[in-house]
Amino acid sequence: MDGTRKKGLSQVDEFMKANQTRTVRVLVTLTASMTIGGFVLMAIDDHGPARGAYSLASYLRLDPIQKVTMDSISARKSTWNSIEVYYSHTGQGDLKQMFSQGRTGFHFLVCNGKGAEDGQIDYTSSWSGQEYVAASDGTIRICVIADRNSNPATGSQLKRTSALVDSLSRGFNIAADKIRYPADWQL
């Protein structure tokens, strides 16, 4: 009986060794093919690191939302009861260009990369002074450089505007039903 048991154990040992060798071969082959595949994909890619909507490099260059919203207030906080996000109906621009065109009825401007960094949020003196604009008592107005057709909001603008609205609604206790977006806004 001892000999039969020993023979059975040696067969199990051989089976385990064979399976371990096979497992190692599969893992090495998988690692090598993934590495080669990665190099091939990088070789056929015709551009460098992403600089689009969700590029970490471009996102980190932007001011934090807290700095733009609460830290920029130089006067006593006003009572805000709603938020309105709307399009500029322009394809490009920055704060200076908007003001030179007489467009001053907003507290924040979210840029699209054509005039300022994509997703850059600028605040106006109306915000830092906590003043109402455009006959909108109690409404925080956010202008997004975009239009519905030829220059829609970029991914970075959508993401940064969402973060801005979230920060403002929490900071001023504004209910979700008091936040208005353009009809085609992607939440």
**Structural domain boundaries in the chain:** 1-46, 56-180
C-alpha–C-alpha distance, residues 172 and 117, integer Å:
27
Give pLDDT tens digits along the chain (187 positions). Answer: 566 666 656 666 676 676 777 788 888 888 999 999 888 887 787 655 444 445 555 556 677 787 777 777 876 777 899 999 999 988 888 888 888 777 788 999 999 888 888 899 999 888 988 888 877 789 999 999 988 888 888 888 999 999 999 999 988 899 999 999 998 887 6
Look at residues 132, 64, 143 and name the one whose alpha carbon lies nearest to residue 108.
143
Side chain identity at residue 119, one-letter code = G
Residues contacting residue 70 through CB under 8 Å, at least 6 positions apart: 167, 171
What pTM, to 2 d.p., does this model score? Answer: 0.65
Which CATH fold would you assign to the domain 56-180?
A: Lysozyme-like (3.40.80)
DSSP 8-state class, residue 177: G
Q: E strands along the chain, which residues?
A: 82-87, 108-112, 118-123, 139-144, 179-180
